């Protein structure tokens, strides 16, 4: 994702613009997985910019969308469901870390519990 590459290079303005465009396109074509990934980029950018409230806002949206993707894929074999979760577990951990940084340990635990919850 281009926004993530901009973020890694410290080009935060470009990262935000690219990620917002990606969110818009993914939403328009109804691709919640890509939308969640783009929101996770925004979470990372705002975390890097020391803007935890914005990071948490985008992180919550990303995790909620990923949970909806998981719900839609309940009928898939467990191994596919687990691989989907493993591909995206960084966003859950990043959001939990942000919540811990704000002293909101119970909310961090709830986010991490989603990774373990078989029935979510």
In this model, does residue 90 exceed pLDDT 50?
Answer: yes
Whole-prediction pTM: 0.87
In this model, does residue 119 exceed pLDDT 70?
Answer: no
> Residue 110's pLDDT is what?
93
How many whole angstroms separate alpha carbon 102 and alpha carbon 47? Answer: 12
pLDDT level of residue 120 (50, 70, 90 thresholds): very low
pLDDT level of residue 91 (50, 70, 90 thresholds): very high
Six-digit token string for 4? 């993530």
**Which CATH code for domain 2-116?**
1.25.40.10
How many whole angstroms separate alpha carbon 38 and alpha carbon 42? Answer: 7
> Residue 72's pLDDT is what?
86
Q: Where are the domains of the chain?
A: 2-116
**DSSP one-letter string for 48-115:** HTT-HHHHHHHHHHHHHHHHHHHHHTTTS-HHHHHHHHHHHHHHHHHHHHHHHHTT-HHHHHHHHHHH
In this model, does residue 67 exceed pLDDT 70?
Answer: yes
21 and 32 in contact (C-beta within 8 Å)? no
pLDDT level of residue 117 (50, 70, 90 thresholds): low
Q: E strand or H helix at 29, and its extent?
A: none
In this model, does residue 21 exceed pLDDT 90?
Answer: yes
């Amino acid at each position: 994702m281009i926004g993530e590459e901009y973020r890694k290079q410290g080009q935060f303005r470009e990262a935000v613009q690219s990620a917002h465009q990606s969110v818009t396109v993914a939403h328009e074509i109804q691709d919640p997985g890509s939308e969640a990934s783009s929101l996770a980029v925004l979470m990372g950018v705002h975390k890097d910019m020391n803007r935890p409230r914005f990071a948490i806002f985008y992180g919550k949206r990303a995790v909620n969308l990923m949970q909806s993707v998981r719900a839609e894929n309940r009928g898939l074999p467990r191994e596919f469901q687990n691989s989907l979760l493993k591909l995206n577990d960084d966003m859950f951990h990043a959001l939990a870390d942000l919540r811990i940084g704000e002293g909101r340990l119970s909310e961090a635990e709830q986010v991490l519990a989603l990774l373990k919850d078989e029935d979510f």
